[in-house]
């Protein structure tokens, strides 16, 4: 399992490396998740988050849309910032997703851990790339999906419509791994928000 985990980390690092091709080291932005916005005279934040807590809000469940059934669940992610690349251009977060209140369906994470990579792309804005595997079971649906390469956008409190900031993944297509009578395609729509205000800064 450790070898599979390291393979996943390497694959995500390669995706991020391709994403920053063509950006000079002078133009590449470093990234940190901070408890407070930077003041004009500050060059870096003092209080950085090392633990990440994201969840969907009440009445705004995460959705997996398929041609057979639409699965809607409350979603919670708990993880830790485990590493930065050598140039501090991106952060890597390892953790686990929990799915609940899925109506007549069940969903669970089956990968050892999910991996999220965060790269700052502008003021209070970051690109988010994820990887992890989940099992979804409903009447007429029993499928495993892998989220490797799914992309989303993170916004800090000053830009997000949510008080604490948000991570949005819209119309992304997880890859079917295995299962019976699984649709050829599925779409993932989800918006999560941090437990407390999380600023995306250099």
Is 109 within the bounds of a domain? yes
CATH number of the domain within which 186 lies: 2.40.160
Is 44 within the bounds of a domain? no
pLDDT value at 188 more than 70: yes
Give the chain as a DSSP string.
-HHHHHHHHHHHHHHHHHHTTT--TTTPPP-EEESSPPPTT-SS-SSB-SEEEEEPPTT--EEEE-SS-EEEEEEEEEEEEEEE-TT--EEEEEEEEEEE--TT-EEEE-SS-EEEEEEEEETTEEEEEEE-EEEEEETTEEEEEE-TTEEEEEE-TTTSSSTT-EEEEEEE-PEEEEEES--S--EEEEEEEESS--EEE-
User: Residue 21 corresponds to which tokens in the numbers above?
Assistant: 């091709």
- Percentage of residues of the chain with pLDDT beyond 90: 46
Is 189 within the bounds of a domain? yes
| Among 26-30, 57-61, 87-91, the range of highest mean pLDDT | 57-61
Is 30 within the bounds of a domain? no
Is 69 within the bounds of a domain? yes
User: Residue 87 corresponds to which tokens in the numbers above?
Assistant: 């140039």
Is 46 within the bounds of a domain? no
What pLDDT shows up at residue 149? 82
pLDDT value at 6 more than 80: no
pLDDT value at 73 more than 70: yes
What pLDDT shows up at residue 61? 95
Is 153 within the bounds of a domain? yes
**Residue 121 belongs to what domain range?**
2-19+51-201
Q: What is the mean pLDDT of residues 104-122?
A: 91
pLDDT value at 34 more than 80: yes
What pLDDT shows up at residue 60? 93
Q: What is the mean pLDDT of residues 58-65?
A: 92
* Whole-number average pLDDT of the chain: 81
Q: What is the mean pLDDT of residues 125-136?
A: 92
pLDDT value at 14 more than 80: no
What pLDDT shows up at residue 35? 80
pLDDT value at 11 more than 70: no
Q: Count the domains in the chain.
A: 1
Q: Alpha-carbon distance 9 to 141, whole Å?
A: 30
98: confidence class by pLDDT, cuts 50, 70, 90: very high
Is 35 within the bounds of a domain? no
């Amino acid at each position: 399992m450790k070898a599979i985990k390291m393979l996943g980390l390497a694959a995500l690092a390669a995706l991020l490396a391709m994403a920053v091709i063509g950006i000079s080291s002078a133009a590449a932005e470093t990234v940190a998740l901070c408890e407070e916005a930077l003041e004009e005279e500050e060059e870096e934040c003092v209080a950085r988050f090392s633990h990440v807590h994201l969840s969907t809000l009440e009445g705004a469940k995460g959705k997996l849309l398929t041609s057979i059934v639409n699965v809607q669940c409350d979603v919670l992610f708990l993880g830790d910032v485990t590493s930065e690349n050598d140039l501090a251009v991106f952060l890597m977060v390892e953790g686990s997703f929990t799915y609940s209140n899925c109506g007549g369906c069940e969903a669970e994470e089956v990968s050892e851990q999910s991996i999220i990579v965060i790269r700052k792309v502008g003021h209070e804005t970051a690109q988010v790339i994820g990887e992890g595997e989940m099992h979804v079971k409903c009447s007429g649906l029993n499928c495993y999906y892998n989220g490797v390469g799914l992309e989303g956008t993170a916004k800090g409190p000053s830009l997000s419509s949510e008080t604490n900031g948000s991570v949005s993944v819209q119309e992304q297509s997880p890859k079917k791994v295995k299962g019976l009578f699984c649709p050829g395609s599925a779409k993932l729509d989800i918006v999560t928000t941090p437990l407390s205000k999380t600023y995306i800064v250099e």
